Amino acid sequence: MAIRDLRDFLTALEGHGELQRVREEVDWDLEMGAITRRCYDLGAPAALFERIKDYPTGFRALGAPLGQSKHPGHFLFARTALALGLRPEASAKEIMAAYLELKERPAKPVSVNGGPCKENILIGEEVDLFRFPAPLIHEGDGGRYIGTWHTVITRDPDSSWVNWGMYRLMIHDRNTLGCLFPMQQHIGQIYQKYEAKDLPMPAAVAIGGQPVIPIVSCVQLPAYVSEVEVAGALQGEPVPLVKCETVDLEVPATAEIVLEGEVLPHTRRIEGPFGEYMGYEAGKASPKPVFRVNAITYRNDPILPFSNMGMPVHEGQTATALLKGAEVYSELRKMGLPVRGVFFPPYGVGHMAVIATETPFINFAKRVAHSVWATKPGLFTYYIVVVDADVDPTNMDEVLHAVTTKCHPVNGIHPVPHIPGFPVLLPFLPPKERLLGDAAGVIFDCTWPKDWPAESMPVKATLENLWPKEIKQRVLGKWEQYGFKDK
């Protein structure tokens, strides 16, 4: 079935056993967050909360929309697969390959005069962010976060480029939000341009669109790439956009909730802390930009999706890290590097990349690693493991074997100081470096050195390598005769 909005996606999830309707009344104050955390921990279905304390019937929330799956027969990334129109049994390799194939056919959006997101319109004094059941997710959070699985839409003041990105949004009061806009991200660079001109930055937030919309908003596409065109490619048809009421921007017409307004220049207010994607409440409360909301539009019976960032595995390690690996692979291939696969392991929280590659010359792993750091999607990668082409980067057993047998404990590990880091949040940095985003990286070279003579190259002790062809054929051909059921 075509997935044209969040509700289509819920139908797909429910049809495959990946959705749990929670009809018991739950509290937005920590209870929804705790239930969603438990869903991640168990690989349980996404939770659709249908009765929320203090909110009228029809106002709903969706926890763990692309969380890990442990449904029988499904793969870890089943919900990401369904979001891309694939079967829930699809492997990481199949999902990444499909993503790269689909995104090669970008679809320009179509402008429409109206849409479901316009069913209710609030402007000026009518605006009230507390109208929606934004959860207080973790104990200790600085406030209720309405933006954890959404899209922030802004336009570069110096060009026609419109950026779609995902940056957390905390409710201060009825019409203002606190924003985390790192300077290493496109939103921070765009905001800096407006602030230098002493101008407010027009912005819109689309919450609850079809899943390809938040997906493309958080895979860190290069600058000047149109995320909405990639979203159209992934869903197989153009995304319908409708004009905002108060700012010169367009938003997905099928979004559940749209916030419109402007990010004020030279204005800061305390935001945070928040239990973040790497599994810790690492960043302290600090002054951050303020988004003044001037209008809200929303669907009847709106659904507010949210991600409970924290210990893996959540959306940051399913859709985000998986497709970030596909993007890094694509970028490295464009550079002419002979890579065979790239994977960001789920428990690596997007900070570790495994790259399988041919090694045409000595110290090639260093070139691969620095090429990763040169890409936009590889920006916040700190641990790079380079393995030979015969290692499957999605198989952590094979990767661990390569690390412990092919990476020299001294000569094969290369620390790299002073690379850009995610400011405020990185747990392994001391306070000063954490504030600045002054991070470090490390390269694990798990490839056989090119200067070794051929006779020194160890041969893998596998059935494929160490038995004559006729013996292999005999064993495989008589496997069931030996009494085994599976080949």
Residue numbers annotated as active site: 276
Length of the chain: 487
Phi-psi region of 418 (alpha: psi -120 to 50; beta: other; left: phi over 0): left
Cα dihedral 86, 90, 95, 101, rounded to 10, equals: -60
Residue 297 is inside which H or E element, if any?
Answer: strand 286-298
Residue 232, token pair as written in the block: 């159209």
One-letter amino acid for residue 373 of the chain: W
Q: How far apart are alpha carbons 436 and 428 in whole angstroms?
A: 13
Beta-bridge mates of residue 413: 444
CA distances from 138 to 41, 205, 352, 451 (A): 15, 22, 26, 53
CA 192 to chain centre: 24
Q: How far apart are alpha carbons 382 and 439 in whole angstroms?
A: 8
CA distances from 306 to 31, 65, 427 (A): 13, 7, 23
Rg of the chain over Cα atoms, rounded to whole angstroms, equals: 24
Residue 429, token pair as written in the block: 């940095």
One-letter amino acid for residue 53 of the chain: K
